Amino acid sequence: MGKIDETAGRATAGRTDWWVVALVVAAGIAASFQIGKAAIAIPLLQVETGRDLAVLGWVSSIFAVLGLFGGVPVGALAARFGDRRMLLLGLLMLAIGSVLGAVASGLGLLLACRVVEGAGFLMVSVSGPALLRRCVGVRDREIAMALWSCFMPAGMALAMLLGPLFGGWRAIWLAGAGFALVVGVAVALRVPAAMAGAVVSWRQLAADAGSMFLTRGPFLLAVCFALYAMMFFAVLSFLPVLLIERMHSSLAVAGLLSGLATAGNIVGNLIAGALLARGVPRLIVLAGASFAMGLAAVFVFLPLLPPTGSFLSGILFATAGGFVPATLLSTAALLAPRPNLVPASIGLLMQGSNLGQVMGPTVVGLVISGIGWAGAAGLVAALALLAALTAFGLHRDLSGLAVARA
């Protein structure tokens, strides 16, 4: 493993411990499992509580409410206190929130526990990339970041595939807690602690966090991630419900099919990593993927194709979407104003992601309840267009990056 300079957030070229990479990615998967379990639990909660989708959408979206405001501060704190500590604390909070949610007696308490889980997810999702950049050799960073970017669809797919096997949503919550605890123990035993770096004052920490919102490149990346997350979670959160309604599937079959569709996102992430390593322009990857997501969503929500065709469109949607997070995560580190601001840059990116997670299921739930699935199709198509336009807005920043590398 290369020598680590935590202050700069960079690792020199050297051997990469892929077990460390695997455990960090596993931590991300344990975190995103808590998102996927909500998608598969919504039909169960609908039967148990009698609430409509507009209300139950909050079970998915409120998970990310802390991330609306905490991404950059958590990134700054990770730079001060250490990425490994932040990762372990995040896994612990995921476990605590899941256990408390499993025994919650009402929807209000369940939503409060989801906020605790959301805090843990934010800590894991911000500290994970920073830890990888610290522990991975320079030549392996692109593949390591591509693997990390798979954590979201992998965890969601795992929850959707396994969730129906537990027989109830409370059992799924307990399984999520156990998953987070097991990974946390493995991380504590295997992932190395950071070398001591320079102590950053609280004033400097606040200044660094504030400066991120005024930096054009990272800010536009966050906007793009917000639009992507709105599309992704709008479609995947309600795909099990759509499959049950349109294909008359059982919950188990709907979970299996939704998991397979989400798994397509993993393929997209890995392909994007390979394309970026070969020098394919990031702007083309982002804009092309956004356009493909919008087109596929139309065929998911509208009955223009037979039910099987709609499901295949869902796979295309998720696969095309995989190109976006892999590209954004690797670009966020490159566009950070200074090396020590990489965690804060990733934190800003995650704030955009969490904004999309909060708004996507909630807004689409309202649209479906008020207008129907056709309204959801139009909304996601409009978001895709905005995402493509935002990607083109990054042209100057990405061009400057290319010149600097030349």
pLDDT over threshold 50, residue 7: no
pLDDT score recorded for residue 4: 35
pLDDT score recorded for residue 243: 79
pLDDT score recorded for residue 195: 58
Q: How many whole angstroms separate alpha carbon 140 and alpha carbon 133?
A: 10
Q: Give me the domains of the chain, ranges plus CATH numbers.
A: 15-405 (1.20.1250.20)
Which are the contacts of 376, defined by CB distance < 8 A and separation ≥ 6? 234, 238, 297, 301, 364, 367, 368
Q: Which two tokens stand for residue 2?
A: 């290369």
Q: How many whole angstroms separate alpha carbon 259 and alpha carbon 257?
A: 5
Q: How many helices (H) and strands (E) does the chain have?
A: 17, 2
Q: What is the DSSP letter of 139?
A: G
Which are the contacts of 76, defined by CB distance < 8 A and separation ≥ 6? 205, 206, 208, 209, 343, 344, 347
Q: What are 324-374's pLDDT values in tens digits? A: 988 998 888 788 777 667 777 888 888 888 888 778 777 887 888 788 888
| Mean pLDDT on 389-401 | 82
Q: Which two tokens stand for residue 17?
A: 């411990």
Average pLDDT over the chain reads 82
User: Higher pLDDT residue, 315 or 209?
Assistant: 315
pTM summary value:
0.76
pLDDT score recorded for residue 323: 93
pLDDT over threshold 50, residue 403: no
pLDDT over threshold 80, residue 12: no
With cut-offs at 50, 70 and 90, classify the pLDDT of residue 406.
very low
pLDDT score recorded for residue 23: 95
pLDDT score recorded for residue 386: 94
Q: What are 64-78's pLDDT values in tens digits? A: 777 777 777 787 777
pLDDT score recorded for residue 332: 84
**282, amino acid identity:** R
Tell me the range of 196-205, 371-380, 395-404 where mean pLDDT is highest. Answer: 371-380
Q: How many whole angstroms separate alpha carbon 149 and alpha carbon 360?
A: 20
| Mean pLDDT on 278-304 | 90
Q: What percent of the chain has pLDDT over 90?
A: 25
Q: What are 89-144's pLDDT values in tens digits? A: 999 999 999 999 999 888 889 888 998 998 899 899 888 988 888 888 777 777 88
Distance, CA of 304 to chain centre: 30
pLDDT over threshold 80, residue 387: yes
| Mean pLDDT on 301-309 | 84
pLDDT score recorded for residue 186: 96
Q: Which two tokens stand for residue 68?
A: 């609306």
Question: What b/e string do you get for 182-205 counting C-beta neighbours within 10 Å, with b at 16 or more?
Answer: ebbebbeeebeebeebeebeeeeb
Q: What percent of the chain has pLDDT over 70?
A: 88
- Torsion from C-alpha of 197, 200, 206, 208, nearest 10 degrees: -50
Contact 233, 139 (CB under 8 A): no
Work out the angle at residue 38's Cα, subtended by the Cα atoms of residues 36 and 62, and round it to the nearest 5 degrees. Answer: 110
Q: What are 14-31's pLDDT values in tens digits? A: 577 888 999 999 999 999
Among 63-67, 111-115, 261-265, 290-294, which is the least confidently predicted range? 63-67
pLDDT score recorded for residue 104: 87
Q: How many whole angstroms separate alpha carbon 269 and alpha carbon 258?
A: 18
C-beta contacts of 185-190 below 8 A and 24+ residues apart: 186/23, 186/26, 187/23, 187/24, 187/27, 187/84, 187/87, 187/88, 187/91, 188/88, 190/19, 190/20, 190/23
